[in-house]
């Protein structure tokens, strides 16, 4: 699986940790920045990862900022993106099973890198459940269409 990853300065250390973790597990990871702990603007990186997923260059995306809130707001403005801000394994699993989330967002000032690895693993291992949730996704797609 091809995964796009991005962060701002607050999430840089966590991004590097998760990138190595994913590569060790055999995933192909496209790092869209940032590339140091120097202060940057999270919308730049949130947009880059969301567009990579929206345009099909990456199957899934991971975004990290301080709280995860800014990256979630940005990513969910891109059509086709269902970015889920997750703080634990339960929300990670539910975001895949119920929402078919295609971007996982986490806060580096909220979670430790070890907690993030666990959440990421659960998120990648969980599948969309379909059924009644499919109709709800169709309703979300309609919202994308009215923004175009
Ligand atoms: C950066 O200081 C911080 O605002 C950012 O990482 C994020 O938490 C925004 O939502």
Whether 98 is catalytic: yes
**Predicted confidence (pLDDT) at residue 148 exceeds the cutoff of 70:** no
Q: How many separate domains does the chain show?
A: 1
Question: What pLDDT does 147 receive?
Answer: 66
Helix, strand or coil, per DSSP, at residue 141: helix
Instruction: Quote the ligand 1 centre to 14 CA distance (angstroms).
Output: 14
Structural domain containing residue 61: 2-147
Question: What pLDDT does 145 receive?
Answer: 83
Q: Is 69 in the pocket of ligand 1 (CB under 6 A)?
A: yes
**Predicted confidence (pLDDT) at residue 63 exceeds the cutoff of 80:** yes
Q: Is 46 in the pocket of ligand 1 (CB under 6 A)?
A: no
Strand 60-65 relative to strand 28-31, pairing:
unpaired
Give nearest CA residue, ligand 1 atom 7. Answer: 66
Q: Could you tell me which residue, 148 or 73, shows the higher pLDDT? A: 73
* pLDDT tens-digit series, residues 115-140: 999 999 999 999 999 999 999 999 99
Nearest to 102 by CA among 128, 77, 83, 119: 83
Helix, strand or coil, per DSSP, at residue 62: strand
Q: ∠ at Cα 13 (8, 55), nearest 5°?
A: 50
Torsion of CA 137, 76, 93, 135, to 10 degrees: 0
Give nearest CA residue, ligand 1 atom 9. Answer: 70
Whether 34 is catalytic: no
pLDDT band at 146 (very low <50, low <70, confident <90, very high): confident
Please, how many CA atoms are within 13 Å of residue 16, restricted to the half-sphere of its CB? 8
* pLDDT tens-digit series, residues 15-49: 999 999 999 999 999 999 999 999 999 999 999 99
* pLDDT tens-digit series, residues 74-106: 999 999 999 999 999 999 999 999 999 999 999
Check which CATH number belongs to the domain holding 73 and give it: 3.40.1400.10
Q: Is 67 in the pocket of ligand 1 (CB under 6 A)?
A: yes
Of the candidates 41, 98, 133, 146, the residue annotated as catalytic is 98
């Amino acid at each position: 699986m091809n995964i796009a990853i991005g962060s701002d300065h607050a999430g840089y250390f966590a991004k590097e940790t998760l990138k190595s973790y994913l590569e060790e597990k055999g995933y192909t990871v496209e790092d869209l920045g940032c590339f140091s702990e120097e202060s940057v603007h999270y919308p730049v990186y949130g947009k880059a990862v969301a567009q990579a997923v929206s345009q099909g260059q990456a199957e899934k995306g991971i975004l990290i900022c301080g709280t995860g809130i800014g990256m979630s707001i940005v990513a969910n403005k891109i059509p086709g993106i269902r970015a889920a801000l997750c703080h634990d394994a339960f929300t990670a699993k539910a975001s895949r099973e119920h929402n078919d989330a295609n971007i996982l967002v986490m806060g580096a000032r909220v979670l430790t890198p070890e907690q993030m690895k666990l959440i990421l693993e659960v998120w990648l291992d969980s599948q969309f459940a379909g059924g009644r949730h499919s109709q709800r996704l169709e309703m979300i797609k309609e919202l994308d269409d009215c923004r175009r």
